[in-house]
Structure formats: structure tokens, C-alpha cells
Amino acid sequence: MSYLLSSPGTTDLPDVFKRYPERSILMLRLIDDIMRGDSPFSVAEREMIFAFASAQNNCSYCYESHKPVAAAFGIDEVVFDELIQDISSASVSKNLKPVLGYVKKLTLTPHKMVDADAKLIYAAGWDEQALLDAVSVCAIANYFNRFVDGVGVDVTSEQARQTGESVLPTLGYGGLADVLEKNQED
């Protein structure tokens, strides 16, 4: 149930974006840069990392809405159950496993991060930009998880999935920001 007085009852994230376009445009521009800008990780990999971090936080909205986005860009959705069970046996590339381990630790126990965690990513063949991008995707996922839970977005898993399937693979985050800006002008 929504915690926003202006949106009693059930509220979806796009509803919040429409109600507060100025803040939403800024958030969407940042996530667009992180999730769609230049990166050693593909868009599919970044969406997978986002969904995985959201699963660690038990944010069902973000998890359920980003799984189909990752799938739309080529990630088999079976991978998500595998990752939740055990990263080391999941059917993802060997070089992504330390990245996902890093994201899990950064999400669940950020105060326990050590140099050795980053060295595992470098040893897997990733560079400093990849480390920065993994941290950025993790951070923006954690931000949105807290935002969604904090404002009380409360929709069914199917509704979250539909939002992910219908908007993000085609329009994207930047496209959503563009729509909000255009609506402000009208």
C-alpha cells in the first residue's frame, strides 16, 4: 500500500514518477547513464546485476520488473533462481561470478568489503571500469529498492513484470524521462 498521501491504495512506480516528475527525471537520467551508457558489461548483464541485487534486498518489485528486461536483452530467466541458490553453480559466465559475489556482499554487508573482493573481479579479467560499473549498478539498484519500499509501491509480481516487459526494453529509462519532461511542457 502506498505511503504517499496523494496516492492512497496501490501505487506502481510509474504513478510515483508522474506525481513527482522533477525528482523522477533526475533519477531516470542517472539510471539511464548507469544501465545504458558505455560499459564493459552488456545491457543484459547490467539488468541481471540489478535484478540480482534487488533479490538480495527482497525487493520483489524491482526483482520482478528487471528479470524480464534482462530476458529481453538475452539473459535466460532460469539463471535468477540459480543465482539465488548458489552463484558458483549458476549458468552464467565464469568471469561474471566474482562480480555477482561482489554485488551480493556489497548489498548485504557493505561494511565488510575488502581489497581481496575487488581483486577477484580483476583476476576474472575485468578492469577498473567494470568494478566501478558493478558498484554503480549495485548502488542504483539499492537506491531504487529503498525508494520503492519507502514510498510503498505495492503491486503484484505480475504487475511489476508487466511494467518491466512493456516499458524498459523499448522505451528505456531515458525514454521515460523524456516522456515526463514532455508532459511537464504540455
Q: In whole angstroms, what is the distance from residue 160 CA to residue 132 CA?
A: 28
CATH superfamily, domain at 13-185: AhpD-like (1.20.1290.10)
% of the chain surpassing 70 pLDDT:
99
pLDDT tens per residue across span 61-83: 999 999 999 999 999 999 999 99
Instruction: Detail the DSSP E strand segments found in the chain.
Output: none
pLDDT tens per residue across span 122-169: 999 999 999 999 999 999 999 999 999 999 998 899 999 998 898 889
Domain boundary assignment for the chain: 13-185
pTM: 0.95
**Other beta carbons less than 10 A from residue 3's beta carbon:** 13
Residue 10 has what pLDDT? 67
Q: In whole angstroms, what is the distance from residue 56 CA to residue 37 CA?
A: 24
